Chain A
């Protein structure tokens, strides 16, 4: 409401230039919002330069609305035709003619400081007109040695990690998803698969083969490595159902081409680019000066993904993008009607390579030496075995169950374990325990006892020493706020201590559930 009271006219000069235009509301708009809008405007500028060259026909990128959700529960909506109730128009503030709405109904007292980085994806969003909207959850990207206002961040690896270029690339990635969805209908759903040894082993061979093909100096060598990739894929998939295989291929196609859009843009910027953003606009924008570094991150991501024994779906981003990059290099024109005809990257590669059975056998025979398959198998088998043992042992625990629920705070569980963590489905196993988890005024300190993080927002621990009838925890607090609600609370169990500004404790026959209702003190 205060925006409405203080509204004045927008600056028309800025509107003509295409940059965010502000009236006196500028003073009312938080700094992090201003930076966000400028990063979005720079995203569109970059797509003006390259969208058509990245993917023929990609033209409607400015029409995709954005929703930004901040840690203080402020929400921002840009370019949306039908905002839900609660979003107020910010008078006089537009980005390239797109209106800006803000929802501060649920704002909490939490200082938000740039740089912020966010992830998410397109969702149907709107009051009655639900349009594909890029929905991003913004997070504080903590940095040491933050630059003074007006000063540019130094190009250290840490500065590159949190640079605004990353957010601009994420914006491009998500806008590309909206473009895909207009042309392609999902058929199979997301891959839900825990790797076995064959999967982990040959997935690493795939990543090495794709990396080699990408780095190859000539097309013939690149094509040869692509054959390795294709044969390794057949071996990798021996324990996958047909549905899982299709899910993997579809995920690679959707996520891979979106990463491809980012990577192609970086390649195209080498030809010509002059930034529209300035240091005064955003001190965390480095002007894409070090393009090779950003491109290198894509290659590193492929390699790191191949090394990860326990991740399946996460591989689709880099694996898919490198398949697309190689198709562009070796088989130009592959993008024509690609989405419209429901094609998949692996299918395009199959068609282009047209491997005969004899050649497949020859390629399979050379993988052992080329990629040290025995060595890779030993490494992956050890990790997969540890995961399976951890799962069996944690599942067998009997006693009093404790659930810590962070969902009301909007914070994902991001714990630091005492030892390795093992992912299985939506469960992260910590057989040696969770050491600590800390955000804002919330602190979770764990003992060295097996615990799990599950469903993104929850920690589960089973107290095996608990005796029926025994109170399994101690609770202290400054005051209560209705049934089961406690302020400035501390819960002590044999497995962990939790401190939080506001919690609800539900002590039922099957579990003690502690929901963290606020991450900052409430007055």
Chain B
């Protein structure tokens, strides 16, 4: 009987362990401000949790990836909606270039920056970590951007996997250029960044980003789950509809 009880007791515990990653996960929080047309605004906070079986990246939308379930959930927090997509299918699917409708041509300009990156000898200590300044300049046909990045590898986490998630999707070409120019920076993170942006039409802006938290810690309960009360939707348009 004793043995039976022990098994019965351990089953729900094991079940609970199987739902959530065990132990300490990597955690990163970046805050920012943007100076634009005479005023300073807070930029959407970016928070990343990385565990063995799941990741959660909170930005304008929150993306939870559950490798154990083979699913990715994209959440619109305010609207309490989420979109579910299988990870496997996403890998298999070949991108199909749709013929562009003439009705849509010429409306969406996304700058394709060519990045040039220079290392400086300037160093400073940020939150006890030694950083070096790198200067990046991106130039596109109708836009320019410069970035001053204080990069470090001196971090208490798995920097390689965090760097992959901490980078905003739009910044990936910059990081590719950075790693190409300085391969040893592949596993580094910028603790402070100044971005001077001159977009095609809108006025110039200056943004400042600072990493406030970078640690290995136990994740809060439910961080890799869909919060209660969220409604499932069927398309990205439905997810972000006003």
Q: Which 3 A-B pairs have the closest CB atoms?
A: A425-B106, A84-B38, A192-B107
| Nearest CB of chain B from residue A255's CB, rounded to whole Å | 18
CB-CB under 8 A for A455 and B201, given A128-B39, A508-B139: yes
Q: A454 to B106, alpha carbons, bound, how many Å?
A: 9
Say yes or no for A480: interface residue by CB 8 A criterion: no
B109 adjacent to A455 (CB under 8 Å): yes
By beta carbon, the residue of chain A nearest B37 is A125
Say yes or no for B234: interface residue by CB 8 A criterion: no
| Nearest CB of chain B from residue A307's CB, rounded to whole Å | 20
B38 adjacent to A187 (CB under 8 Å): no
By beta carbon, the residue of chain B nearest A127 is B39
CB-CB under 8 A for A401 and B37, given A194-B104, A455-B201: no
A125 adjacent to B141 (CB under 8 Å): no
Say yes or no for B105: interface residue by CB 8 A criterion: yes
- Interface size range of chain B in the complex: 20 to 34
Contact with B along A506-520 (1 / 0, CB 8 A): 101111010000000
B102 adjacent to A125 (CB under 8 Å): no
The residues of B that contact A127 with a CB separation of less than 8 Å are 38-39
CB-CB under 8 A for A85 and B38, given A196-B103, A407-B198, A513-B139: yes
Stretch at the interface among A12-20, A29-37, A258-266, A456-464: A456-464
Binding site secondary structure of chain B? loop
Known: A424-B105, A425-B104. 5 other contacts (CB 8 A): A243-B237, A388-B102, A391-B105, A425-B107, A427-B106
Q: A474 to B108, alpha carbons, bound, how many Å?
A: 33
Contact with A along B23-59 (1 / 0, CB 8 A): 0000000000000011110000000000000000000
Contact with A along B135-149 (1 / 0, CB 8 A): 000010110000000
B103 adjacent to A240 (CB under 8 Å): yes
Say yes or no for A280: interface residue by CB 8 A criterion: no
| Nearest CB of chain A from residue B9's CB, rounded to whole Å | 54
Interface residues of B (CB under 8 A from A): 37-40, 102-109, 114, 139, 141-142, 198, 200-201, 237, 242
Q: A391 to B106, alpha carbons, bound, how many Å?
A: 10
The residues of A that contact B39 with a CB separation of less than 8 Å are 84, 125-128, 130
Q: A243 to B40, alpha carbons, bound, how many Å?
A: 33
B141 adjacent to A458 (CB under 8 Å): yes
The residues of B that contact A456 with a CB separation of less than 8 Å are 200-201
Q: A471 to B234, alpha carbons, bound, how many Å?
A: 54
Say yes or no for A109: interface residue by CB 8 A criterion: no
The residues of B that contact A128 with a CB separation of less than 8 Å are 39-40
CB-CB under 8 A for A454 and B142, given A240-B103, A510-B114: yes
19 residue pairs A–B, Cβ–Cβ below 8 Å: A83-B38, A123-B37, A125-B38, A128-B39, A187-B242, A193-B104, A194-B104, A196-B103, A403-B141, A403-B142, A424-B106, A425-B104, A426-B106, A426-B107, A454-B142, A457-B200, A458-B142, A458-B200, A511-B141
| Nearest CB of chain A from residue B72's CB, rounded to whole Å | 25
B105 adjacent to A194 (CB under 8 Å): yes
The residues of A that contact B114 with a CB separation of less than 8 Å are 508-510
Contact with B along A419-433 (1 / 0, CB 8 A): 000001111000000
Contact with B along A111-123 (1 / 0, CB 8 A): 0000000000001
Q: A203 to B202, alpha carbons, bound, how many Å?
A: 31
B38 adjacent to A185 (CB under 8 Å): no
Binding site secondary structure of chain A? loop
Say yes or no for A86: interface residue by CB 8 A criterion: yes
| Nearest CB of chain A from residue B143's CB, rounded to whole Å | 9
B109 adjacent to A426 (CB under 8 Å): yes
Q: A240 to B242, alpha carbons, bound, how many Å?
A: 20
| Nearest CB of chain A from residue B197's CB, rounded to whole Å | 13
The residues of B that contact A393 with a CB separation of less than 8 Å are none
Q: A510 to B40, alpha carbons, bound, how many Å?
A: 35
Q: A427 to B105, alpha carbons, bound, how many Å?
A: 9
Q: Please pick, from B40, B102, B108, B201, the residue contacting A194 in the complex, using a CB distance under 8 A.
A: B102
Say yes or no for A239: interface residue by CB 8 A criterion: yes
| Nearest CB of chain B from residue A83's CB, rounded to whole Å | 8
B102 adjacent to A460 (CB under 8 Å): no
Name the interface residues of A158-203: CB closer than 8 Å to any CB of B. 185-187, 192-196, 199
A126 adjacent to B38 (CB under 8 Å): yes
The residues of B that contact A348 with a CB separation of less than 8 Å are none
Q: A510 to B105, alpha carbons, bound, how many Å?
A: 22
The residues of A that contact B109 with a CB separation of less than 8 Å are 426, 454-455
Q: A461 to B200, alpha carbons, bound, how many Å?
A: 17
Name the interface residues of A491-523: CB closer than 8 Å to any CB of B. 506, 508-511, 513
A194 adjacent to B106 (CB under 8 Å): yes
The residues of B that contact A391 with a CB separation of less than 8 Å are 105-106
Say yes or no for A244: interface residue by CB 8 A criterion: yes
Q: A506 to B140, alpha carbons, bound, how many Å?
A: 11
Q: A508 to B108, alpha carbons, bound, how many Å?
A: 24
The residues of A that contact B237 with a CB separation of less than 8 Å are 243
By beta carbon, the residue of chain B nearest A186 is B242
Q: A460 to B61, alpha carbons, bound, how many Å?
A: 36
B103 adjacent to A239 (CB under 8 Å): yes
The residues of B that contact A126 with a CB separation of less than 8 Å are 38-39
The residues of A that contact B38 with a CB separation of less than 8 Å are 83-86, 125-127
The residues of B that contact A508 with a CB separation of less than 8 Å are 114, 139
